[in-house]
Amino acid sequence: MPVYDETNIEDLQSRLLDTESQDLELDLGCGKSNLCHSLAGANPSVQYVGVDWNRHFCMEGERGRRKYGISNVFFVNLEAGLFLKKYVRSASVRAVYIFFPSPAPRAQRLVTESFLWEVFRVLSVRGELRLITDDSDYYSSIRKSLRIVGWEEDFWVPFPFILPPGLLVGTPCEEEYGSHFVLCLRKRY
Ligand SMILES: C[S@@+](CC[C@H](N)C(=O)[O-])C[C@H]1O[C@@H](n2cnc3c(N)ncnc32)[C@H](O)[C@@H]1O
């Protein structure tokens, strides 16, 4: 499977069209992609997309996908906000995951008010946004940006695979920094 980027956008668009009948879940800023592999392995009927602007991580994700023989995940090497805005249909996504978004540089932070509107747009009704950060300043700015009235807070339901005690997602960043600030939001309408 190719890693999708600006050189094969038409292939990405038809791939996304092909997944229309499936539940779609996105890991934005997927990094080394181990969460995408674990989720895709545990939920074979769900289509996962890992997005990262670092090409090296997307290639690593694709190598892992082949190694584990998983067919329901693919990787997109684009800026995550642009990916949502240009390529993801409204109300077509069941879950968006953003774990340990890079807090620096501040001016390039992914999670802004306009980005959260895009997340809200692509989620289907009752779709969920799960976000974890270890950065208190980033967390408070995200909370301030959550002015969208259609969100409701929900409980964290554990992912359907086994993790070491104390971990929620088992990504490299969670292992290194710990899950200090956790958000689980659901789109009400
Ligand atoms: C701190 S790492 C977290 C990786 C992984 N989610 C984890 O929990 O280990 C942040 C990741 O987001 C990616 N990233 C940051 N801003 C991005 C953006 N605007 N669009 C796409 N990827 C982005 C970085 O390349 C990096 O891989």
Shortest-distance atom of ligand 1 to CA 57: 27
Q: Residue 51: beta bridge partners?
A: 28, 76
Average pLDDT value over all residues in the chain: 96
171: left (phi over 0), alpha (psi -120 to 50) or beta: beta
Mutation test residue for ligand 1: of 36, 100, 169, the one with most atoms within 8 Å of CB: 100
CA torsion, ordered 156, 171, 4, 19, to nearest 10 deg = -30
Average pLDDT estimate for 162-170: 95
Q: What is the pLDDT of residue 132?
A: 98
Q: Residue 49: enclosing H or E segment and its boundaries?
A: strand 46-51
Its pTM surpasses 0.85: yes
Summarised one tens digit per residue, pLDDT across range 50-96 is 999 999 999 999 999 999 999 999 999 999 999 999 999 999 999 99
pLDDT tens profile 92-141: 999 999 999 999 999 999 999 999 999 999 999 999 999 999 999 999 99
C-beta neighbour count of 124 within 10 angstroms: 15
Phi, psi of 39 (to 5 degrees): -65, -45
Counting ligand 1 atoms within 8 A of each CB, the residue from 28, 37, 38, 53 with the most, and so the one to mutate, is 53
CA 53 – ligand 1 centroid, Å: 7
Task: Kindly list the structural domains of the chain, giving each domain's residue range(s) and its CATH number in brackets, ordered by start.
Answer: 6-187 (3.40.50.150)
Inform me whether the pLDDT recorded for 188 exceeds 90: yes
Q: Residue 37: its pLDDT value, please? A: 98
Q: Which residues line ligand 1 (CB under 6 A)?
A: 29-31, 51-54, 57, 79-81, 99-102, 110, 171-174
